[in-house]
Amino acid sequence: MSVYSFVQCDVFTDRVFAGNPLAVFPDSAGIDEVTMQQIAREMNLSETVFVLPPGDPAKALRRLRIFTPGTELPMAGHPVVGTWLMLARMGVVAPPASGNGAVTIQQELKLGILPVTIEFADGQPVKVVMTQGTPNVGVPLDEIAACAEVLRLSPNDIGDAGNPALPIVVASTGVDYLIVPVRTREALRRIRPNTAAMPDLFNRVGAHAVYPVTKDVKGSDAFVSARMFADESLGVSEDPATGSAAGPLAATLVHYGIAQAVNGIARFVIEQGVDMGRPSRIEAAVEGTAGAVTVVRIGGSAVPVLEGNINLVQGKRGDERA
């Protein structure tokens, strides 16, 4: 019998029982891919991360494999933020000599090798900022009716009356998301997704999931408020904080001139998870200008919630027949 320890944390929040839960297995050597998927299904969280030695120690400090209950992802935001905060707490990343400041390391993901920065205060990790993949923002799509059907909203609820206006668009920093502007916070709250209609729309536009967003954020210091929905293939219907979607949204907001850069960087907060009772704050920093976004970074905090062990009994797995 092999025993593997894990820690569960809440990500994109500074308090427990908020943000997005994440399971991290800090030493996963010896766990095969099939078992990783089974463990992720057993944990039944948005994502579970398995930390492994890198393919080339000269290029990366650790390799991260990220699984939802249904599939492996090439990259995801809250798993990276939560994993590196937990690894830094375990001493995998040492703080600066003064105990304060930032340390940048390289991580290996299925998407490739990307930098991640851990910020320390008094010797303790307090924030992680990840650089995401190359931003790619598509052209506006005429999909109001289909988006209204998927979100179970009126077509009048879809769109943005602002100037400049946020269009319906597919955007990516490693994973393709369908960004859908919603006119009001009340409409965002009313969404009850039609998962049966999602595959056709996602296949047609080339998206992984849908990320409805509104600029109606009265009473919040966030720049926008969003929700994330996926079909059954992902194993997660709604996610309380999605860094891999927040990055494409951040790129889109700058690309279309809605978020303005100061000294070359646009900084703002994306709010998510409010309607799930798990409020999350995702910090975005985007380099570039309208039509020319170059770098997207997503950051936030995380807090540990529980620790435990999982026993992998040798013999038949649950998906095998006697």
| DSSP codes of every residue in 191-233 | ----GGGHHHHHHHHT-SEEEEEES--TT-S-SEEE-EE--GG
Q: 141 and 115 in one domain?
A: no
Q: Would 229 be classed as within a structural domain?
A: yes
Q: How many domains does the chain have?
A: 2
Distance CA 126, CA 302 (A): 8
pLDDT exceeds cutoff 70 at 7? yes
Q: 242 and 110 in one domain?
A: no
For residue 129, what are its two tokens? 């900022």
| Cα separations in angstroms, 177 against 103, 201, 225, 243, 244 | 30, 12, 16, 11, 9
Q: 268 and 175 in one domain?
A: yes
Q: 36 and 106 in one domain?
A: yes
Which of 42, 47, 149, 287 is labelled catalytic? 47
pLDDT exceeds cutoff 90 at 287? yes
Distance CA 303, CA 285 (A): 22
Q: 214 and 123 in one domain?
A: no
Q: 161 and 257 in one domain?
A: yes
For every residue of 263-320, DSSP letters joined together read TTEEEEEEEE-GGGT--EEEEEEEEEETTEEEEEEEEE-EEEEEEEEEEE-SS--TTS
Q: Would 35 be classed as within a structural domain?
A: yes
User: For residue 288, what are the domain limits?
Assistant: 136-299
CATH of residue 51: 3.10.310.10
Q: Are strands 62-67 and 47-52 parallel, antiparallel or unpaired?
A: antiparallel
Is 268 within 8 Å of 259 (Cβ atoms)? yes
The pLDDT, as a whole number, for residue 316 is 52
Q: 184 and 167 in one domain?
A: yes
| Region 276-294 average pLDDT | 97
The pLDDT, as a whole number, for residue 321 is 44
pLDDT exceeds cutoff 60 at 246? yes
Q: Which residue has the higher pLDDT, 81 or 315?
A: 81
pLDDT mean across residues, the chain: 95
Distance CA 229, CA 191 (A): 10
Q: 225 and 150 in one domain?
A: yes
Distance CA 206, CA 182 (A): 20
Q: Using pLDDT thresholds of 50, 70 and 90, give the confidence band for residue 319.
A: low
pLDDT digits (tens, 9 = 90+) for 14-37: 999 999 999 999 999 999 999 999
Q: Return the percentage of the chain with pLDDT > 90, whole number.
A: 93
The pLDDT, as a whole number, for residue 232 is 80
Q: Are strands 136-137 and 292-300 parallel, antiparallel or unpaired?
A: unpaired
Q: Would 320 be classed as within a structural domain?
A: no
Q: Using pLDDT thresholds of 50, 70 and 90, give the confidence band for residue 322.
A: very low
Q: 195 and 99 in one domain?
A: no
Q: Would 295 be classed as within a structural domain?
A: yes
pLDDT digits (tens, 9 = 90+) for 179-233: 999 999 999 999 999 999 999 999 999 999 999 999 999 999 999 999 999 988 7
Q: Backbone phi, then psi, for 276, in 5-degree steps?
A: -100, 0
Is 250 within 8 Å of 286 (Cβ atoms)? yes
pLDDT digits (tens, 9 = 90+) for 261-271: 999 999 999 99
Q: 190 and 125 in one domain?
A: no
Is residue 33 flagged as an active site residue? no
Q: 105 and 197 in one domain?
A: no
Q: Which residue has the higher pLDDT, 282 or 234?
A: 282
Q: Would 322 be classed as within a structural domain?
A: no
Q: Would 321 be classed as within a structural domain?
A: no
Q: Would 124 be classed as within a structural domain?
A: yes
Under DSSP, the state recorded for 236 is: -
Q: Would 318 be classed as within a structural domain?
A: no
How big is the chain by its Cα radius of gyration, in Å? Answer: 19
| Region 66-74 average pLDDT | 94
Q: 107 and 66 in one domain?
A: yes
The pLDDT, as a whole number, for residue 236 is 77
Q: Return the percentage of the chain with pLDDT > 70, whole number.
A: 97
State pTM to two decimals. Answer: 0.93
Is 164 within 8 Å of 258 (Cβ atoms)? yes
Q: Where are the alpha helices (DSSP H) in 131-184?
A: 144-151
Lowest mean pLDDT among 10-14, 241-245, 259-263, 314-318: 314-318
